[in-house]
Every structure is written in C-alpha cells, then in structure tokens.
Copies of this chain bind each other. A is one copy, B any other.
Amino acid sequence: MSLPLHAVIMAGGSGTRFWPLSRARRPKQFLPIVGRKTMVEETVERLRPLIRAGRVYTIANADQTRTLRRLLPRVPAGNLLVEPAGRNTAPCLMLAMSRVFLRNPKAVVAALPADHLIRDAARFREKLEAAAEAALAGDHLITFGIPPTFPSTGYGYIHFEKERSIEAGGRVFYRVRAFKEKPPYDEALRFLAAGTFLWNSGIFLWRADVFARKLERHAPELYPFWTRMLKAAAKKSGKDMAAIFREIPAISIDYALMEKAEGVLMTEGDFGWSDVGAWSSLCDVWPRDGAGNAANGGLQALDARDCLVYNPKKLTALIGVKDLVVVDTADALLVCRKDHDQKVKDVVEALKKKGSLKYF
C-alpha cells in the first residue's frame, strides 16, 4: 500500500491488576496472557501486514524500553522511544508524534495501547486502513468506538452523532459530540439505551501535521511544549526532553485534545476488542473445557466449573469450586472470586503498605 501509515505503541503501562503474574518490572504488556507471545509482541505482529517494522514506534520508560528491545528485535532501536517520566498520554503521544513529524509531517499515525486484545486482526487492519485513508485526505482526528456489550463503569464512552455520518474509503465515520469519563452505573445504563455511546478504545489515528495543528488550536497550554519537543527531537537531546517532561502537565490525550478539538470522527471498532482489564476477562479469551474451566497449565477438576487457572508449571486440582481465579507464580499465589478481581490491586496496595516489597 502507498499509505504512509505509522504506528505509535504506548507500552508504558504499569498496572497491578494481573498480580501476582504482573510485577512492577513486568506489567501486563509484557505478559503472554492472551497468546503464546507477550501482548506487546502480539500488538506489533497484528500490524505487520499493514505497517512494516521500520514505521513502528514504541514509547515507554527506560527500563521497559530495554525489555522492548529484546522483545521487538525487528523494530529499529531508534524507534523505541523513551519517555523521561510518566505524564499520562498527551505528553507521551506528543513526544512520539514529534519524532514522526520530523520524519514526515504527512505521516499518518495510529496510536495504540500495547496491552489490548484484538481477536479479529484482519478486520482490525481493514478498519485501520480505511481510517488512515480518511485521516490522510481530511482534517480529522479519528477514534475507534467499541460497541458496548454491558453498562460498564470501567470505560470511558464516546458520544457520537448518528445522523452526521460521513463516508471515506467506503467506510462510515461519525462525528463525535463528546467524550465521557467512566460513568456511574445509572448513566452507563442510559448510554446503552441511547445507542449513541460507544466505549472509548484509546486507539487514535491522525496525520502528524493535523495533530500539530489541532494542538495549536485546541490545546494552547500544551502547544509551547510541542514546539520545544520538536527542537529536542531534532537535536536528539534526551536532556532537553527530560527538562520538558519536568514541566509539562500530566494530562490525557482525551482530555487535552480529543474532547476539545473540532473534526473528531469515530469509526466502529468491531474487531473483537478487549482491554483485558483483569484476570476474569481472560475467561472469554482462553479455551474452556465442558465445565467452563479455562486453564493455562495441567488441570484436574472435580465438580468445579467456570474457573480460570494460570499455573503453567504445575498441576492444579480444583474440587467443588466455581467462579474462581487461581494464579500461581514462583513466590505468590492468588485465589480470588471472579467478580472480585478488581480488588487484586488493593491486595498489592496492602502489601506495599506492609513493606512486602518483594511481591511487586
């Protein structure tokens, strides 16, 4: 294809929701939990037929970038960008975009989290390509909305205008009316009933110069940092970039730019997306036996059903239990009711307070 499509993979996450498997130095994107490879590897491989490795960038902290270098040998080392500090997604993407912009202001960039699952990779690439064509042609920032399957209070929503659709590359895009933060349950119910709210996938697509222009117009508090970043990137000065990151406000790209910009479009992300937000989300990803048990590792189940087991090196026997998440690692074991798996991070917090540092 002739599209100048690039990818920026945001790989700087540091969640604790997959504890005890995930640790400070091994966050979710570095775990092989949805396939045999790590999530970040799968993210890059998924793009391969569409975007060659030389056009793939990652952005993460220095420590994580060392890991990425090992996991992604085909991506040029110069594309593995280091964010000097965690400052949320706006500064992170601005840094990466400054590098791409210097390379080619007309480059179209897909900004992708490193730790999402996409089941239908072919459909995903198809959608990405269509969005890239729309972004290349016009003046738009493009987002991907995920058709909601339940009134989630854990995702942000994109409120779109059903009546104001436009076509590009044979695909339908909707004008975005507003971005909504994680709603309370009642509001989530209303969103679902309305039919004009999709989940915000955190996947974005834009042309580099359009990104810069929108920043200038709609994010005036960030734009001075953008021009400084361009200079630092041109000089390849890590020191200058670090100085910028000491001053730049920590703010999400949704809040800093997407909510405020005009000409934001949404296309439907109907490609089997999951943010794999916690252990129980893997129940829909891993193959299950007749009793609904999904296991990574040997399983002997007796009157047990709908459990998720991660214990690849050992035998696990389940007797008379249901709806459990069981995760066994070299130094810690988790046994958790499936519908309580959001509390895993609370356990990590409790351990931190106790000073049990070896467990994260």
What separation, in Å, do the CA atoms of A335 and B315 have in the docked complex? 11
Interface segment, one of A35-43, A172-180, A247-255, A343-351: A343-351
Is A339 on the interface with B (CB-CB < 8 A)?
A: yes
Instruction: Please give, as numbers and ranges, the residues of chain B lying within 8 Å of A19 by CB-CB distance.
Output: 317
What separation, in Å, do the CA atoms of A275 and B316 have in the docked complex? 27
Is A13 on the interface with B (CB-CB < 8 A)?
A: no
Which one of B303, B337, B350 lies within 8 Å of A340 (CB-CB)?
B303
Contact B346 A302 (CB under 8 A): yes
Is A300 on the interface with B (CB-CB < 8 A)?
A: yes
Is A61 on the interface with B (CB-CB < 8 A)?
A: no
Contact A343 B320 (CB under 8 A): yes
Interface residues of A in 308-360 (CB under 8 A from B): 311, 314-321, 324, 326, 328, 330-337, 339-341, 343-344, 346-347, 350-351, 356, 359
Query: Can you list 29 A-B pairs, Cβ within 8 angstroms, ordered by A?
Result: A20-B317, A300-B351, A302-B340, A302-B346, A302-B350, A303-B340, A314-B331, A314-B333, A315-B332, A315-B356, A315-B359, A316-B333, A316-B334, A317-B333, A317-B334, A317-B336, A319-B334, A319-B337, A319-B340, A319-B343, A319-B344, A320-B337, A320-B339, A320-B340, A320-B343, A321-B335, A321-B336, A326-B333, A326-B335
What separation, in Å, do the CA atoms of A262 and B308 have in the docked complex? 59
Instruction: Please give, as numbers and ranges, the residues of chain B lying within 8 Å of A300 by CB-CB distance.
Output: 347, 350-351
Smallest CB gap from A354: residue in B: B300
Contact A321 B324, CB 8 Å, known A315-B333, A331-B314, A359-B315: yes
Q: Mark A108-121, 1 if CB is under 8 A from B, else 0.
A: 00000000000000
Which one of B328, B343, B356 lies within 8 Å of A333 (CB-CB)?
B328
Q: Mark A261-284, 1 if CB is under 8 A from B, else 0.
A: 000000000000000000000000
Smallest CB gap from A334: residue in B: B317
Which one of B314, B316, B332, B337 lies within 8 Å of A317 (CB-CB)?
B332
What separation, in Å, do the CA atoms of A317 and B324 have in the docked complex? 13
7 closest A-B pairs by beta carbon, nearest first, are A320-B340, A320-B337, A319-B336, A315-B332, A316-B333, A317-B347, A317-B334
Instruction: Please give, as numbers and ranges, the residues of chain B lying within 8 Å of A324 by CB-CB distance.
Output: 321, 335
